[in-house]
Chain A
Amino acid sequence: MKDDLVLRVVGRLMIPAILLFALYVQFHGDFGPGGGFQAGVIIAAGIIFYALIYGVTATRQLVPDWVIETMVASGVLIYAGVGLAGLLLGGHYLDYSVLSHDPVHGQHRGIFWVEVGVATTVCGVMLKIFYMFTSRGNSEG
């Protein structure tokens, strides 16, 4: 589908909007609908859209495999790290109130980092599964 002018132009217009919307969903998740899981899936969907238009090879150059594999693992580590940070600062595991001077601020900070972790893992896993399926198709067919 690389030569389809309409698709290329629409994709070029849509993909930044999709990624921006994902970031909005991520960081505005405290106030409106959304959060880490949704944001991760939307980012993955945007990149998959790019892969559908420009081909998987180009996408693999843009977002290499090692980045995605690092994302898969680091998301869980960020989440668990927030829990450990609470433990080190004298609270319970995953107790966000101690992360800042003000418990409410601490809660906000904890939720923010936890959502970042969720988004990273979800986005990484979605893209990894997508790459795996498409590369199998190429190697065998």
Chain B
Amino acid sequence: MAITVVVIAVTRNLFSVIVLSGVYSFLMATVLVALDAVDVAMTEAAVGAGVSTVLLLGALHLCKSQEAKPTHKPWLPLVVSVSTGALLVYGALELPDFGDPEAPIHKNVVPRYLENEVEVPNVVTAVLASFRGYDTLGETTVVFTAGVGVIALLRRRKKNPEKKRDET
């Protein structure tokens, strides 16, 4: 995965960048399966590697296939991202170990989720749809809004040339 990221950052050909980000998504999905998060892995494989790769290729069809040469030196963004990363790693050092049953996150609501009073065998589905139904309703609305936004933006562009033609 680290190799893929470095190659993505270095490569200037956008087509290979898109294919490599699909590869990265598949590797990420594998990592998620290894972490026992099968639901997230499935989403990552389908959205990250499948749909978004196709959408990016469609976007690539509309623009040049070579990335433009950067107009300024990369030092300031590099310093910002490295320091942010260092800060996050420093913060993560204090987190409890992975899979530690004594971690605070497992002490509050998780026991009630795992008691599973709705008797749905997949706890992820139970939490998503029942215990946190409002959150999921909000997420669905966000997806809906995104779709409506895309429709509104791209439709207007298509109609504009016709209007101009009518005016002239």
Q: Complex formed: what's the CA distance from A96 to B55 in Å?
A: 37
Contacts of B46 in A (CB 8 A): 38, 41-42, 45
A111, B124: Cβ atoms closer than 8 Å: no
**Nearest-CB distance from A12 to chain B (Å)?**
19
By DSSP majority rule, is chain A's interface helix, strand, loop, or mixed?
helix
Contacts of A76 in B (CB 8 A): 140-141, 144
Q: Which of B53-89 contact A (CB under 8 A)?
A: 54-55, 58-59, 61-62
B61 to A, closest residue via Cβ: A137
B136 on the interface (CB 8 Å rule)? yes
A48, B119: Cβ atoms closer than 8 Å: no
Interface contacts (Cβ under 8 Å), in number, total 140
Q: Which of A88-120 contact B (CB under 8 A)?
A: 94, 96, 104, 107-108, 110-111, 114-115, 117-118
Q: Complex formed: what's the CA distance from A125 to B59 in Å?
A: 17
A68 to B, closest residue via Cβ: B147
Contacts of B158 in A (CB 8 A): 135-136, 139
Contacts of B150 in A (CB 8 A): 125, 128-129, 132
Other-chain residue from B61, B119, B146 in contact with A125 (beta carbon distance below 8 A): B146
A31, B130: Cβ atoms closer than 8 Å: no
B146, A35: Cβ atoms closer than 8 Å: no
Q: List 5 A-B contacts (CB under 8 A).
A: A29-B125, A38-B39, A38-B43, A41-B43, A132-B151
Interface residues of chain B, those whose CB is within 8 Å of chain A, are 38-39, 42-43, 46-47, 50-51, 54-55, 58-59, 61-62, 118-122, 124-126, 128-130, 133-134, 136-137, 140-141, 143-144, 146-148, 150-151, 154, 157-158
